[in-house]
Amino acid sequence: MAQKKYLQAKLTQFLREDRIQLWKPPYTDENKKVGLALKDLAKKYSDKLECCENEVEKIIEEIRCKAVERGTGNEHYKATGIATIEVFLPPRVKKDRKNLLETRLHVTGRELRSKIAETFGFQENYIKIVINKKQLQLGKTLEEQGVTHNVKAMVLELKQSEEDVRKNSQVEEEEQNEARLKEKRIQRTKRGLEILAERAEMVVDPETTPYLDIANQTGRSIRIPPSERKALMLAMGYHEKGRAFLKRKEYGIALPCLLDADRYFCECCRELLDTVDNYAVLQLDIAWCYFRLGQLECLDDAEKKLNMAQKCFKNCYGENHQRLVHIKGNCGKEKVLFLRLYLLQGIRNYHSGNGEEAYEYLNKACQLFKELYIDPSKVHSLMQLGFSAQEARLGLRACDGNVDHAAAHITNRREKLDQIRKEEKEKKRRRLENINYLKGMGYSARAAKQALHQASGNLEESLQILLSHPQMWWLNDSGPETNSHQESPSQETIDQLVYMGFDAAAAEAALRVFRGNVQLAAQTLAHNGGNLPPDLRLSAEDSSATPPTSPSDSAGTSSASTDEDMETEAVNEILEDIPEHEEDYLDSTLEDEEIIIAEYLSYVESIKTATKRN
């Protein structure tokens, strides 16, 4: 298959260079049938490539037929508005994996999915459609989603077709259950990440939500702008979930997660993406997933994604990895990423008919593989010392395979991380102390956290923020519904404020706003010249007319509890896939890469041999 793709790409190159238009005479007659001149063309190119003439003729005829089909489709689209979509079917479909499907662009994604399922024999609820590197949204029209004439659509299958199920009837129920489970996993992933992202938007206490911390290459927390925190959390969450599916070789479920991650990363600023290597790794993972699905040609911008990964690595690691070596002392572990980058660049060039460039990249990948190969006995020796297999692999690659140095490196890394964790824990402890101090003054925990966040943890500055923005007092821990009613203040508390010199009406309004808290009312009035700020004055007026909540309004507790359990389950499923080791993405046995490098090198070697004979 790969060799045929190379031949197709090479012949397409020759046709462009010679400016040959196969859909016109003498290669296509007036009835759109093949012309006699095509045989002469096949002879010319087979001699040039030293390939079988019949094979070359067959491939040129395929290219011609596709060109004729495209031309007919273009004329049909102009006349009727009916678009043609090129549908790429899953790998299990051995023949005719590329098919044309006609549709109007005002239909919904659901209607297109139904048509694809009916036409090609899939169960509608167990397939996903990817167009323009995005999952097809079922509720929107194709036009709204940017789908155009001649676009490529890739079908991801969550279960086998009914025909395959009938061949083996015993497993029908098992396969259907598996497909339902996969769909539920995707939905739980989405819900779990949404919950985590919503929590990330709030000012939370890192001590109780350590999984929301985002760290740099040294393991220290990175301060993220609030406006980008939710997008970054969703991007990284979908990426981790996608990587978990990649490890299990569930590429059909992994790809939608990775594409969602890409969409959310694009909402983050460029400076942030240059700080960490996540975005570069994601580009590699997406390209790898398309390749493993056998659909690399569906990724129209594969070259762009790989170039983007290379550029991001350079920005993040520095020229020749200098910044990385300065931070970590070595770059051995990160070379795994470059091995996969070179391998994918080699594969892409091969599929594009660029034999020399393919050989160059594949050779680079091969050299890196030799450098990164680990003797299993060395891994075993380190495991005997109490280290995990993952730690052993990463340590050996960081130390060029030296067991003693690797043991020292792993121990040193553990000690450094332990020190960083202690420092981070101390920062969080001080922050918690400050929160409790502000709570003791009458502020809610949520208001205290937000003020400290804005003041970068400085207690005095956070107090100034709270005094300057008294409306922050409304950031109540129990949500806005608890602020809907304020009881009338007692005469005793009003008298206390009047005794301090404040006007009785202003005192009553302030106490109504702050629910009887004399200290906060006095601080706010003093800070604002004896009056409430206009926004709080309106809140006080509105609240005086708000009726108290009836006990009957709290019905449905059982339902809320069930929803909460489901949310907890969704979040826990996400957290289970977050690896404990922060360098998990750098750990690979390279078994798959070894096989693929050898396979594609054999293809390009055969090209070189043929070229030498010429």
pLDDT band of residue 436 (cuts 50, 70, 90) is confident
Distance CA 394, CA 383 (A): 12
- Range 312-326 average pLDDT: 77
**What's the pLDDT score for residue 233?**
80
**What's the pLDDT score for residue 312?**
87
**pLDDT for 189 beyond 90:** no
pLDDT band of residue 115 (cuts 50, 70, 90) is very high
Residues 448-491 have pLDDT tens digits of: 887 887 787 788 888 888 777 766 655 555 443 444 445 678 88
**What's the pLDDT score for residue 306?**
92
The torsion defined by the Cα of 21, 24, 26 and 31, in degrees rounded to 10, comes to 150
- Range 202-225 average pLDDT: 53
**What's the pLDDT score for residue 208?**
44
Residue 77, helix vs strand vs coil: helix
> Partners of 129 in the beta sheet?
155
Q: Which of 351, 346, 393, 399 is nearest to 374 (CA)?
A: 393
Distances in whole angstroms, Cα of residue 248 to Cα of each of 36, 92, 186, 252, 303: 51, 18, 15, 11, 26
**pLDDT for 20 beyond 50:** yes
Distance CA 234, CA 263 (A): 10
pLDDT band of residue 103 (cuts 50, 70, 90) is very high
- Kindly list the strands in the beta sheet with 134-135, ordered across the sheet, starting from the edge strand earlier in the chain: 98-104, 82-88, 152-157, 127-131, 134-135
**What's the pLDDT score for residue 546?**
46
**Helices 459-468 and 403-440: angle between axes, nearest 10 degrees:** 40
| Contacts of 156 by beta carbon, 8 Å cutoff, 6+ apart | 90, 127, 128, 129, 130, 252, 255, 256, 293
CB 175 within 8 A of CB 275: no
Structure-model confidence comparison of residues 76 and 178, the more confident one: 76
Degrees to nearest 5, angle at CA 351 with 349 and 356: 40
**What's the pLDDT score for residue 194?**
65
CB 480 within 8 A of CB 455: no
pLDDT band of residue 364 (cuts 50, 70, 90) is very high
Distance CA 3, CA 5 (A): 5
**What's the pLDDT score for residue 210?**
45
Structure-model confidence comparison of residues 252 and 557, the more confident one: 252
Residues 559-605 have pLDDT tens digits of: 545 555 556 665 666 666 677 777 888 888 899 999 999 999 999 88
**What's the pLDDT score for residue 202?**
47
**What's the pLDDT score for residue 313?**
86
Distance CA 279, CA 221 (A): 18
**What's the pLDDT score for residue 174?**
58
Distance CA 103, CA 250 (A): 30
Q: What is the reported pTM?
A: 0.71
Lowest-confidence pick of 17-31, 329-343, 526-540: 526-540
Do the strands 134-135 and 152-157 form a parallel or antiparallel pair, or are they unpaired?
Answer: unpaired
Tokens standing for 167?
A: 């061949």
Q: What is the mean pLDDT of the chain?
A: 79
Q: Give the up-direction half-sphere exposure of residue 452: CA atoms within 13 A in the CB hemisphere.
A: 26
Distance CA 275, CA 507 (A): 51
**pLDDT for 430 beyond 90:** no
Task: Indicate the residue type of 354.
Answer: N
**What's the pLDDT score for residue 173?**
54
CB 84 within 8 A of CB 100: yes
Please, what sign has the CA dihedral across residues 78, 80, 81, 82?
A: negative
Tokens standing for 207?
A: 């001590």
CB 144 within 8 A of CB 134: no
Residue 121, helix vs strand vs coil: coil
The torsion defined by the Cα of 163, 167, 171 and 173, in degrees rounded to 10, comes to 40
**pLDDT for 70 beyond 50:** yes
- In the block, tokens 């690979």 appear at 588
Lowest-confidence pick of 15-19, 350-354, 546-550: 546-550
**What's the pLDDT score for residue 553?**
46
550 by Cβ neighbours in 10 Å (0-12 / 13-18 / 19+) ranks as: exposed
Instruction: Specify which of 95-104, 222-231, 279-288 reaches the highest per-range mean pLDDT.
Output: 279-288
Distances in whole angstroms, Cα of residue 471 to Cα of each of 406, 524, 539: 56, 10, 9
| 546 conformational bin, left if phi > 0, alpha if psi -120 to 50, beta if neither | beta
Q: Which of 128, 129, 125, 122 is nearest to 165 (CA)?
A: 122
Distance CA 557, CA 460 (A): 41
C-beta atoms surrounding 490 within 10 Å: 11
Element of type H or E holding 546: none
Residues 121-137 have pLDDT tens digits of: 888 888 889 998 888 99
Residue 27, helix vs strand vs coil: coil
Tokens standing for 305?
A: 């994604």
pLDDT band of residue 552 (cuts 50, 70, 90) is very low
**What's the pLDDT score for residue 481?**
40
Degrees to nearest 5, angle at CA 572 with 569 and 573: 85
**pLDDT for 337 beyond 60:** yes
SS (H, E, C) 220-258: CECCCCHHHHHHHHHHHHHHHHHHHHHHCCCHHHHHHHH
Structure-model confidence comparison of residues 215 and 268, the more confident one: 268
**pLDDT for 94 beyond 80:** no
**What's the pLDDT score for residue 158?**
74
